[in-house]
């Protein structure tokens, strides 16, 4: 360890206690989870002991070098890999260790991949998907034989996702094939750090017993400053862009050497970048944009420019949330609610990025109600009220994918793999029957044989090995592994060549030739799709079409919802006891009180009114979007049992709406006790059948498990004869195999990850103690406006189809252009 | 559904009286002819052969419906308007052969873009194959055509219509699509998707609800909300 301390001294630094603790624990042969924020020097906390270990084992390391993989570094974002590579190379260079530090991600060239297949670099930086692809390589045992360390960086980002499950499975395999493996995770602060360690190492595992949790405990001061509009009168009641306050951002940018402006979606990022340049052309060349759809070179250039301080400001998305140690950013601006305290803290941490410095983050609300959120955020930062990341349980889709992966490479023996898999967190409750079921599914595509069936995927060889022998199956599977991340993407290129980036396929599919859209900071005219590439040319036309990326909808955590309610309730306090944000909302509250009320802690507000659209019924639990989704689904289902009715449901973080073509009697809802927590589970389950939530979840499950084949996007082969939509598939399963594990999973996931039954129950109990205040209004209120104008809606109906058709008033046309 | 089968919707086409069946078939009583389009048989097995485990039992629905609709109408002639088989021959073809040998109807196929199986195989089953077929006032094709002086009945499109109403309600349903001198049949196949149409003036739609055919009285059109 002296070597490491010396090295630090030569840089003019002093190692932090958490770094030294990590070195020591690693060298003692322990596993662990390191809780350290971005910019704390976490990469050196783990690269050092990995290299020190080698130096100990191999005293003659400078002369004698045996090639091959020694350590893996897993990062969820390939954008971070260069940074991690550089910090490793800095040490290997200075200590004269002849190690090759390589990167293997979706961006790695085919030539480089082929070279790596022969011998992997000594240190390899890669993503969870690329690691799975390595497990799909013939003879992978050999590749990993001498690997003695794996670091899973940004574990908190992976934890609540299926990529985290992919990691659990990969680790379960590596534990067996790498006898001397040390497993380390790095996580930002989340509510369930202990659980995060369990998931990483395996519950009740030897590794867990022999592990440590090290907290960096850097005393970092974070100051949150809200940008408050001067007059509330002209500030919008809804919206998500925040452009009204653009001019307030300019002085912040000018006063600081470097500023990061975090937006919540790539679409918002594009618009902000463009508008700043439009209003302040003098900033051209000083600002740039960074998001996940922009090509790698541009992203690298931007990251480099942040480091050299050659840019004043960068408008970005979560693509810059993680990593990039030691990047000096002076100021951070958050545009719109970050919907999570952990994420907000992490973003704040990007400013004053050197240990010990104060971090300042500006919060820019995009609409009036978000000022309440701004105020609650300050509270949350003070109390460090960070949320949990809920790990997945029983994700059969990922397991099906993983088993196929093993069958593609060297084949697997069920007994051995079952032992490994059943010890992971995700599959700890999997029964022997379910395991057998999955094996049957892989081999027969069913639970029984039929003479006429031609299903082909995994075969059982005479010696009992489960193996894919068909080349087509193997090839399609390898292509499918990367799709766990989400939507199908399409490459955007100029007609004459020239790569611009990638966009979700569904956005392109809405465009007609000649349409102009904004992407990567340019106005582009769509020409045509050729071989899965969208061809475009530059356009000088003005446009308002900006790709809005899916997945932009996040919800408040329960901690944050509670703080939000408390902030709202403070409206009744004397001005001196209120935050600035709440004070500034006084005109809005007055307006709300014209026809309705601003509820207090003992009140549950219901508003109704009629418009051209129909009858609006609004409910305000202030529990966050997911709870509202569940409650709307539950309530509308219960109402639909009383008489045939059809609803359109909408929600935000404050409340939800049931819209119908008929008026509902609120008194009837109250008299029938429809907010009761009794029979909750049963009713909720039935309401799921009536809405489309599970159907949407099934889409991902079908893709991950290989039921739907998405084509070879990069090869430009569409395989149309193998495409089906998951909607159709959902119906087929519902009608023919409703007990199918993958079909059931869609419902379970909706339950566990979206509806959060536990939180719903607590919310219902709270409502049962509140006084219900029902206001029949003439028109919309400041509270209801953002909800009723939301277009992303759920449907629920108990009416006969023929009856519904009869009341339809028009035939819809596409897009309305 | 009783022993008499599903309720059909009767109307006049080019002077001939025909019936629309809720599963998407058209029956022409005067000629005792049943028209079915876009069954895409073999699709389920095709997917399974390529490693996508679509429930095997789903392929039985097509045969079940075929048998039941034939029982209902007892047609002398059964004419398929193309895309009868989705892919190359697979074992679903065996089931189809078995069905074809047992049916009492005369079999006709207007060849569609998916019909790549050798005509000899169809002919061996007693099929008559056509690129198009003129019968009475009708010109039967797979792809919709403009056929001056004739009434075109075609498939290929898998038409669906989207409806909107008060309270932001929307519905999407497979349908028969009728316009001047042309009728497009919905896809009869169970494991096939639909294509939503943009209506033009004069279009008429007959939506399928699964157990009924509902003619749409809606005249007004508007953009999707």
- How do residues A563-584 score in pLDDT, each as one tens digit? 889 999 999 998 888 999 999 9
pLDDT band at A759 (very low <50, low <70, confident <90, very high): confident
Distance from CA of B110 to the nearest CA of A (A): 20
Strands A101-104 and A123-126: parallel
* Nearest chain B alpha carbon to A723: B47
Q: Which residue has the higher pLDDT, A399 or A390?
A: A399
DSSP code for B188:
-
Q: Above pLDDT 90, what percent of chain B?
A: 70
Strands A794-797 and A646-651: antiparallel
Angle between helices A2-10 and A42-57 (to 10 degrees): 130
- What is the pLDDT averaged over residues A209-223? 85
pLDDT for A53 equals 96
Of B168, B198, B224, which has the smallest distance from its Cβ to A613's Cβ?
B168
Q: How far apart are CA A594 and CA B84, in angstroms?
A: 64
| CATH classification for the domain delimited by A2-215, as one of 3.40.190.150, 3.40.50.300, 3.90.850.10, 3.40.50.720 | 3.40.50.300
Contact criterion met (CB < 8 Å) for A793 and B168:
yes
What is the CA angle A507-A246-A565, rounded to 5?
A: 85
Domain architecture of chain B: domains with CATH: 9-215 (3.60.21)
**Residue A4 in 3-state DSSP?**
helix
* Nearest chain A alpha carbon to B95: A452
pLDDT for A177 equals 96
| A577 contacts: CB under 8 Å, gap ≥ 6 | A570
pLDDT for A553 equals 42
CB-CB contact of B211 with A800 (8 Å) = no
- Position A691 pLDDT exceeds 80: no
pLDDT for A544 equals 53
CB-CB contact of A775 with A605 (8 Å) = yes
Exposed, middle or buried, A320 (CB in 10 Å: 0-12/13-18/19+)?
buried
CB-CB contact of B174 with B207 (8 Å) = yes
> Does the predicted model carry a pTM greater than 0.90?
no
| A285 contacts: CB under 8 Å, gap ≥ 6 | none
Q: How far apart are CA A645 and CA B112, in angstroms?
A: 42
Q: Which residue has the higher pLDDT, A334 or A728?
A: A334
- DSSP bridge pairs for B8: none
Of A660, A709, A812, which has the smallest distance from its Cβ to B223's Cβ?
A812
CB-CB contact of A85 with A103 (8 Å) = yes
Greatest pairwise CA separation for chain A in angstroms: 85
Q: Which residue has the higher pLDDT, A346 or A339?
A: A346
Of A721, A807, A814, which has the smallest distance from its Cβ to B198's Cβ?
A814
ipTM: 0.88
pLDDT for A545 equals 58
Contact criterion met (CB < 8 Å) for A812 and B221:
yes
Contact criterion met (CB < 8 Å) for B55 and A733:
yes
DSSP letters spanning B100-161: HHH--SEEEEE--TT--S-HHHHHHTT-EEES-EEETTEEE-SS----TTSEEEE-SS-EEE
CB contacts of B55 in chain A (<8 Å) are: 446, 732-733, 736-737, 740
A40-49, A548-557, A788-797, B38-47: least confidently modelled range = A548-557
CB contacts of A708 in chain B (<8 Å) are: 52
Of A661, A709, A737, which has the smallest distance from its Cβ to B52's Cβ?
A709
pLDDT band at B2 (very low <50, low <70, confident <90, very high): very low
Q: How far apart are CA A472 and CA A457, in angstroms?
A: 10
**pLDDT tens digit sequence for B39-66:** 999 999 998 998 889 998 888 899 999 9
| A151 contacts: CB under 8 Å, gap ≥ 6 | A46, A50, A71, A72, A73, A74, A184, A185, A186
pLDDT for A96 equals 94
Does the domain formed by A222-368 have CATH 3.40.50.300? yes
Contact criterion met (CB < 8 Å) for B58 and A722:
no
Rounded to a whole number of angstroms, the distance between the first and last alpha carbons of chain B is 36
* Nearest chain B alpha carbon to A617: B167
pLDDT for A110 equals 81
Backbone dihedral angles phi then psi of residue B34, each to the nearest 5 degrees: -115, 125
Q: What is the average pLDDT score of chain B? A: 91
CB-CB contact of A379 with A424 (8 Å) = no
User: What Rg do the C-alpha atoms of chain B give, in angstroms?
Assistant: 17
pLDDT band at A716 (very low <50, low <70, confident <90, very high): very low
Contact criterion met (CB < 8 Å) for A454 and B49:
yes
Q: How far apart are CA A223 and CA A661, in angstroms?
A: 48
Contact criterion met (CB < 8 Å) for B165 and A810:
yes
pLDDT for A207 equals 96
A9-18, A94-103, A146-155, A791-800: least confidently modelled range = A791-800
CB contacts of A470 in chain B (<8 Å) are: 51
- What is the pLDDT averaged over residues A331-354? 79
**pLDDT tens digit sequence for A223-280:** 889 999 888 878 888 877 888 899 999 999 998 888 999 988 788 888 899 999 999 9
- Which of A812, A814, A815 should we substitute to test contact with B (largest number of B Cβ atoms within 10 Å)? A812
CA A576 vs CA A6, A71, A584: distances in Å:
54, 57, 12
pLDDT for A692 equals 77
Contact criterion met (CB < 8 Å) for B198 and A813:
yes
CB contacts of A816 in chain B (<8 Å) are: 222-224
pLDDT for A717 equals 45
Contact criterion met (CB < 8 Å) for B221 and A477:
no
pLDDT band at A323 (very low <50, low <70, confident <90, very high): low
**Residue A178 in 3-state DSSP?**
coil
pLDDT for A505 equals 59
pLDDT for A814 equals 67
Of A453, A725, A812, which has the smallest distance from its Cβ to B164's Cβ?
A812
pLDDT for A139 equals 92
- Which of B7, B42, B45, B51 should we substitute to test contact with A (largest number of A Cβ atoms within 10 Å)? B51
Contact criterion met (CB < 8 Å) for B51 and A441:
no
CA B131 vs CA B115, B128, B192: distances in Å:
11, 10, 23
pLDDT for A723 equals 58
Contact criterion met (CB < 8 Å) for B224 and A455:
no
- Position A18 pLDDT exceeds 90: yes
Contact criterion met (CB < 8 Å) for B220 and A809:
yes
- Position A174 pLDDT exceeds 90: yes
CB contacts of B167 in chain A (<8 Å) are: 613-615, 646-648, 659-662
Of B51, B86, B94, which has the smallest distance from its Cβ to A456's Cβ?
B51
Sign of the four-CA dihedral A459, A465, A471, A475: positive
Contact criterion met (CB < 8 Å) for B95 and A452:
yes
pLDDT for A206 equals 94
Exposed, middle or buried, A456 (CB in 10 Å: 0-12/13-18/19+)?
middle
Q: Which residue has the higher pLDDT, A689 or A33?
A: A33
CB contacts of A483 in chain B (<8 Å) are: none
pLDDT band at A508 (very low <50, low <70, confident <90, very high): low
Contact criterion met (CB < 8 Å) for A706 and B94:
no
Distance from CA of A805 to the nearest CA of B (A): 8
Whether A709 and chain B come into contact, CB under 8 Å, resolves to yes
Contact criterion met (CB < 8 Å) for A452 and B92:
yes
What residue has token string 């004043």? A312
- Position A548 pLDDT exceeds 50: no
Within chain A, all domains assigned CATH 3.40.50.300 are found at 2-215, 222-368
A614-623, A740-749, A806-815: least confidently modelled range = A806-815
**pLDDT tens digit sequence for A406-427:** 999 999 999 999 999 999 999 9
Distance from CA of A698 to the nearest CA of B (A): 14
Of A452, A476, A816, which has the smallest distance from its Cβ to B91's Cβ?
A452
Whether A472 and chain B come into contact, CB under 8 Å, resolves to yes
Whether A666 and chain B come into contact, CB under 8 Å, resolves to no
**pLDDT tens digit sequence for A27-74:** 999 999 999 877 678 899 999 999 999 999 999 988 888 999 999 999
CB-CB contact of A619 with A744 (8 Å) = no
What residue has token string 């690298």? A300
Of A722, A793, A811, which has the smallest distance from its Cβ to B161's Cβ?
A811
Q: Which CATH architecture has domain A396-483?
A: Orthogonal Bundle (1.10)
Sign of the four-CA dihedral A418, A421, A424, A426: negative
- Position A485 pLDDT exceeds 60: no
- What is the pLDDT averaged over residues A759-768? 92
Q: How far apart are CA A656 and CA A667, in angstroms?
A: 18
Q: In what order do the strands lie in the sheet with A259-262?
A: A222-226, A359-364, A331-335, A259-262, A313-316, A287-290
pLDDT for A552 equals 37
- What is the pLDDT averaged over residues A520-530? 77
Distance from CA of B188 to the nearest CA of A (A): 14
- Which of B54, B65, B177, B220 should we substitute to test contact with A (largest number of A Cβ atoms within 10 Å)? B54
Q: What is the average pLDDT score of chain A? A: 86
Rounded to a whole number of angstroms, the distance between the first and last alpha carbons of chain A is 67
pLDDT for B100 equals 94
Q: How far apart are CA A340 and CA A549, in angstroms?
A: 19
What residue has token string 């998001």? A291
Whether A722 and chain B come into contact, CB under 8 Å, resolves to yes
Contact criterion met (CB < 8 Å) for A737 and B220:
no
Of B56, B165, B210, which has the smallest distance from its Cβ to A809's Cβ?
B165
Within chain A, all domains assigned CATH 1.10.10.10 are found at 396-483
Contact criterion met (CB < 8 Å) for B50 and A476:
yes
E runs forming strands in A595-732 = 603-611, 614-620, 646-651, 656-660
Contact criterion met (CB < 8 Å) for A729 and B54:
yes
pLDDT band at B21 (very low <50, low <70, confident <90, very high): very high
- Position A116 pLDDT exceeds 70: yes
Tokens of B224: 């999707």
Tokens of A271: 């618009």
pLDDT band at A715 (very low <50, low <70, confident <90, very high): very low
**pLDDT tens digit sequence for A587-620:** 999 999 999 999 999 999 999 999 999 999 999 9
**pLDDT tens digit sequence for B131-166:** 999 999 999 999 999 988 899 999 999 999 999 988
Q: How far apart are CA B114 and CA B192, in angstroms?
A: 13
CB-CB contact of A397 with A452 (8 Å) = no
* Nearest chain A alpha carbon to B195: A814
CB-CB contact of A363 with A347 (8 Å) = no
Q: Which residue has the higher pLDDT, A758 or B219?
A: A758
């Amino acid at each position: 360890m002296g070597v490491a301390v010396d090295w630090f001294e030569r840089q003019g630094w002093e190692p932090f206690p958490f770094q030294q603790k990590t070195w020591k624990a690693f060298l003692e042969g322990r596993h662990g989870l390191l809780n350290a924020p971005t910019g704390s020097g976490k990469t050196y906390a783990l690269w050092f002991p990995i290299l020190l270990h080698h130096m100990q084992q191999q005293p003659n390391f400078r002369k004698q070098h045996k090639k091959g993989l020694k350590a893996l570094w897993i990062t969820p974002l390939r954008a971070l890999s260069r940074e991690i590579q550089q910090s490793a190379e800095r040490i290997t260079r200075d200590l004269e260790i002849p190690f090759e530090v390589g990167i293997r991600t979706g961006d790695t060239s085919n030539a480089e991949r082929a070279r790596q297949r022969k011998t992997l670099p000594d240190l390899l930086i890669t993503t969870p998907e690329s690691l799975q692809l390595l497990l799909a390589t013939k003879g992978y045992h050999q590749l990993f034989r001498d690997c003695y360390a794996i670091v899973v960086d940004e574990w908190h980002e992976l934890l609540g996702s299926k990529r985290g499950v992919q990691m659990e499975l990969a680790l379960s395999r590596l534990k067996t094939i790498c006898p001397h493996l040390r497993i380390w995770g790095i996580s930002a602060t989340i509510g369930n750090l202990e659980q995060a360690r369990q998931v990483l190492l395996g519950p009740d595992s030897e590794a867990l017993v022999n592990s440590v949790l090290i907290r960096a405990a850097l005393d970092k001061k974070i100051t949150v400053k809200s940008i408050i509009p001067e007059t509330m009168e002209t500030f919008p009641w809804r919206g998500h862009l925040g452009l009204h306050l653009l001019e307030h951002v300019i002085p912040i940018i000018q006063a600081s050497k470097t500023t990061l402006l975090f937006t919540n979606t790539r679409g918002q990022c594009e618009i902000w970048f463009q508008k700043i340049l439009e209003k302040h052309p003098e900033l051209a060349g000083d600002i740039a944009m960074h998001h996940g759809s922009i090509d790698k070179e541009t992203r690298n250039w931007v990251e480099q420019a942040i480091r050299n301080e050659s840019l004043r400001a960068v408008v970005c998305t979560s693509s810059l949330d993680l990593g990039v140690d030691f990047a000096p950013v002076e100021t951070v601006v958050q545009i719109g609610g970050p919907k999570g305290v952990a994420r907000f803290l992490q973003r704040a941490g990007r400013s004053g990025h050197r240990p010990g410095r104060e971090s300042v983050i500006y919060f820019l609300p995009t609409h009036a109600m978000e000022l309440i959120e701004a105020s609650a955020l300050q509270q949350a930062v003070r109390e460090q009220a960070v949320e949990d990341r809920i790990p997945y349980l029983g994700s059969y889709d990922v397991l099906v994918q993983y088993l196929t992966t093993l069958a593609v490479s060297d084949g697997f023996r069920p007994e051995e793999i079952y032992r490994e898999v059943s010890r992971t967190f995700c599959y700890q409750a999997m029964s022997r029957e379910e395991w057998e079921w999955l094996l049957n599914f892989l081999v027969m595509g069913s639970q029984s044989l039929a003479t006429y069936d031609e299903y082909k995927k995994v075969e059982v060889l005479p010696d009992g090995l489960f193996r894919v022998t068909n080349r087509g199956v193997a090839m399609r599977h390898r292509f499918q592994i990367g799709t766990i991340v989400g939507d199908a993407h399409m490459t955007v290129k100029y007609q004459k060549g020239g790569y611009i980036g990638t966009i979700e396929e569904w956005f392109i599919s809405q465009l007609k030739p000649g349409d102009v859209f904004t992407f990567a900071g340019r106005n582009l005219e769509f020409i045509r799709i050729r071989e899965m590439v969208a061809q475009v040319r530059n356009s000088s036309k003005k446009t308002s079409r900006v790709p809005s990326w899916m997945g932009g909808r996040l919800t408040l955590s329960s901690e944050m919802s509670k703080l939000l309610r408390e902030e709202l309730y403070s409206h009744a306090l004397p001005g001196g006891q209120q935050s600035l944000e709440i004070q500034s909302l006084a005109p809005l509250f007055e307006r709300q009180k014209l026809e309705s009320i601003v509820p207090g802690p003992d009140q549950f507000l219901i508003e109704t009114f009629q418009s051209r659209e129909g009858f609006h019924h609004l409910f305000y639990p202030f529990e966050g979007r997911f709870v509202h989704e569940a409650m709307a689904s539950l309530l509308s289902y219960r109402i639909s049992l009383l008489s045939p009715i059809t609803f359109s449901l909408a929600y935000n973080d404050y409340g939800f709406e049931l819209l119908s073509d008929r008026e509902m009697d609120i008194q009837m809802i109250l008299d029938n006790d429809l907010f009761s927590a009794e029979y909750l589970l049963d009713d909720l389950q039935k309401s799921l059948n009536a809405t489309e939530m599970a159907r949407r979840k099934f889409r991902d499950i079908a893709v991950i498990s290989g039921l739907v084949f998405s084509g070879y996007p990069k090869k430009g082969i569409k395989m149309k004869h193998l495409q089906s939509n998951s909607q159709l598939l959902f119906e087929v399963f519902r009608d023919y195999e409703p007990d199918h594990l993958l079909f059931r999973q869609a419902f379970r996931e909706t339950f566990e990850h979206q509806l959060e039954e536990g939180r719903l129950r607590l919310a219902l109990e709270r409502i049962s103690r509140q006084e219900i205040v029902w206001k029949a209004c003439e028109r919309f209120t400041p509270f209801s406006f953002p909800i009723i104008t939301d277009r992303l809606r759920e449907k629920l109906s108990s009416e006969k189809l023929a009856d519904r058709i009869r009341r339809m008033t028009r035939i819809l046309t596409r897009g309305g252009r | 559904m009783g022993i008499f089968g599903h309720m059909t919707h009767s109307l006049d086409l080019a002077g001939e009286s025909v019936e629309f069946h809720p599963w998407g078939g058209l029956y022409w009583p005067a000629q005792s002819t049943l028209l079915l389009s876009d069954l895409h048989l073999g699709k389920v097995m095709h997917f399974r052969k390529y490693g996508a485990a679509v429930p095997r039992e789903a392929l039985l629905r097509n045969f079940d419906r075929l048998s039941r609709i034939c029982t209902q109408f007892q047609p002398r002639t059964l004419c398929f308007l193309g895309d009868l088989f989705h892919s190359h021959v697979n074992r679903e073809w065996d089931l189809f052969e078995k069905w074809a040998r047992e049916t009492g109807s005369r079999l006709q196929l207007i060849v569609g873009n998916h019909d790549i199986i050798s005509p000899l195989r169809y002919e061996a089953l007693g099929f008559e194959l056509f690129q198009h077929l003129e019968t009475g006032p009708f010109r039967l094709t797979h792809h919709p055509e403009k056929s001056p002086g004739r009434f075109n009945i075609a498939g290929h499109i898998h038409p669906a219509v989207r409806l909107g109403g008060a309270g932001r309600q929307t519905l999407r349903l497979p349908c028969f699509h009728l316009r001047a001198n042309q009728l497009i049949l919905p896809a009869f196949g169970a494991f096939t998707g639909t294509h939503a149409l943009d209506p033009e003036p004069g279009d008429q739609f007959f939506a399928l609800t699964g157990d009924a055919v509902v003619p749409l009285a809606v005249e007004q059109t508007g953009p999707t909300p």
